[in-house]
């Protein structure tokens, strides 16, 4: 295995799927926090992996894909314990972004995204809590799917923040995304009619100055392609004063659950600087914000469910193209890329609704993506829209 491959793959495998099944011939990779029989769920930390037991069984989502004919090519690197969005792992698993010279892949599903972007496999499983499938999909020019919360089984997956965690998917093509997603979910509810395409103006102000006009130009185009009425939805209609309220509420809820998950990590386990800094944020947070964040989540979920009865929501996934390797400061007050990513990706997590990432634009040859959200359980409608847009674009 060469150096570039070693930054993607934790363990190469040749697990053959069931012959003559619907996904026969399709290969996929698996993030290293999802159980694959005979492998350890190392969670991006070799010291943890060395003491972790070998998994005896596949996670149900992996088993479903194998039974449907897909073959597993291996497990992939990730941000340590899935707590990060940069995809820069200090233990050697910091993959190269083949679509942006010198750019990061994004995380925490970094190896999975890189495996697809580099052409090793057409599809890869990741996990998404605050954008860990969607961010690397955007920065690598991939189609991505964050399912409705609870739709895809999460057993056999190392948790980070269970009320926000999902197993998602990264693919090179929207059609493959739709086919594999249906298997992962065990089928979908029928798609409901949609007549409106909503945009939240405050979230579009989080874009980088050079990315904003490129992505804003797609609003009317996508509404026309999907045959939908373009409508504005202010954050106030969702019970939010501003985008900072969205970010603060999300972090208060996420970090409360992450603190429980990280308690399983021995205090003397060697970890990298990013995880060390993030653990510090969790430990030093103001715990008095949690009750308010829980109330905010209830209001937001109810309001968004009402708005999405007959609508999709279109929004950016990342502020712009992939940043350069090593450019993201550990201090989030000095580097606002990660907070903006978390803000842009918070709605789907808080409300448990599905989101599809669509790589529909470029800036200087680097990919830019938009996210499309639907009401909870309407994953089929989103995936059908993605396939239609891929075909027309």
pLDDT tens, position by position, 157-173? 999 999 999 999 999 99
* Alpha-carbon gap, residue 313 to 381, rounded angstroms: 12
Distances in Å between the Cα of 323 and the Cα atoms of 127, 138, 320 are 21, 12, 8
Query: Which residue from 19, 31, 113 is spatially nearest to 77, judged by alpha carbons?
Result: 31
Q: Is the pLDDT reported for residue 93 higher than 80?
A: yes
The active-site residue out of 71, 132, 138, 301 is 132
CATH numeric code, 196-392: 3.90.1300.10
* Alpha-carbon gap, residue 46 to 37, rounded angstroms: 18
What is the band of 390 on the pLDDT scale with cuts at 50, 70, 90? very high
The active-site residue out of 31, 110, 138, 375 is 31
Give the pLDDT confidence of 60-89 residue by residue, as tens digits.
Answer: 999 999 999 999 999 999 999 999 999 999
pTM score above 0.75: yes
* Alpha-carbon gap, residue 385 to 317, rounded angstroms: 17
The active-site residue out of 40, 73, 108, 109 is 108
- The label of the residue with tokens 């634009």 reads 361
Dihedrals φ, ψ of 216, to 5°?
Answer: -65, -30
What is the band of 4 on the pLDDT scale with cuts at 50, 70, 90? confident
Q: Looking at the domain covering 3-185, what would its CATH class be?
A: alpha beta
Q: Where are the domains of the chain?
A: 3-185, 196-392
Catalytic status, residue 132? yes
The pLDDT, as a whole number, for residue 327 is 87
Catalytic status, residue 112? no
Give the pLDDT confidence of 99-117 residue by residue, as tens digits.
Answer: 999 999 999 999 999 999 9
Catalytic status, residue 108? yes
The two three-digit tokens of residue 392, written as one number: 């027309």
Q: Is the pLDDT reported for residue 331 higher than 70?
A: no
Q: Same CATH fold, 196-392 and 3-185?
A: yes
Dihedrals φ, ψ of 72, to 5°?
Answer: -95, 125
Give the pLDDT confidence of 220-240 residue by residue, as tens digits.
Answer: 999 999 999 999 999 999 999
The pLDDT, as a whole number, for residue 339 is 94
Give the rounded distance of the alpha carbon of 16 from its chain centre. Answer: 26
Query: Which residue from 288, 246, 218, 275 is spatially nearest to 80, judged by alpha carbons?
Result: 275
Q: Is the pLDDT reported for residue 2 higher than 80?
A: no
The two three-digit tokens of residue 163, written as one number: 């009320």
- The label of the residue with tokens 């193209």 reads 321
What is the band of 393 on the pLDDT scale with cuts at 50, 70, 90? low
């Amino acid at each position: 295995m060469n150096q570039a491959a070693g930054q993607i793959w934790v363990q190469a495998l040749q697990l053959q799927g069931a012959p003559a099944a619907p996904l026969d011939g399709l290969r996929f990779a698996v993030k290293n926090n999802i159980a694959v029989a005979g492998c350890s769920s190392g969670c991006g930390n070799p010291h943890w992996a060395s003491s972790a037991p070998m998994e005896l069984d596949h996670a149900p989502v992996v088993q479903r894909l194998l039974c449907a004919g897909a073959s597993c090519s291996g497990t992939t690197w990730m941000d340590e314990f899935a707590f990060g969005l940069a995809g820069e792992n200090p233990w050697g698993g910091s993959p190269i972004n083949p679509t942006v010279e010198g750019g990061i892949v994004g995380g925490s599903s970094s190896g999975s995204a890189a495996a697809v972007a580099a052409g090793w496999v057409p599809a890869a499983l990741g996990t998404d809590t605050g954008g860990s499938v969607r961010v690397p999909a955007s920065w690598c020019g991939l189609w991505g799917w964050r399912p409705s919360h609870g739709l895809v089984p999460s057993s056999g997956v190392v948790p980070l923040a269970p009320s926000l965690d999902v197993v998602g998917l990264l693919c090179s093509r929207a059609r493959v995304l739709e086919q594999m997603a249906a298997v992962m979910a065990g089928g979908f509810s029928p798609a409901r009619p949609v007549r409106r395409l909503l945009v939240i103006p405050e979230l579009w102000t989080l874009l980088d100055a050079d990315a904003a006009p490129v992505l804003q130009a797609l609003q009317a185009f996508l509404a026309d392609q999907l045959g939908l009425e373009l409508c504005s939805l202010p954050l106030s209609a969702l019970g939010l004063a501003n985008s900072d309220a969205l970010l603060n509420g999300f972090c208060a809820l996420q970090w409360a659950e992450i603190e429980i998950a990280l308690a399983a990590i021995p205090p003397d386990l060697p970890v990298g600087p990013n995880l060390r800094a993030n653990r510090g944020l969790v430990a030093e947070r103001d715990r008095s914000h949690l009750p308010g964040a829980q109330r905010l989540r209830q209001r937001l979920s109810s309001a968004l469910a009402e708005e999405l009865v007959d609508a999709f929501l279109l929004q950016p996934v990342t502020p712009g193209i992939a940043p350069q390797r090593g450019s993201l400061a550990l201090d989030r007050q000095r580097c606002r890329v990660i907070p903006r990513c978390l803000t842009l990706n918070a709605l789907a997590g808080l409300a448990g609704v599905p989101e599809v990432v669509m790589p529909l634009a470029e800036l200087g040859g680097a990919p830019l993506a938009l996210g499309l959200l639907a009401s909870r359980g309407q994953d089929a409608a989103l995936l059908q829209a993605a396939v239609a847009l891929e075909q027309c674009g």
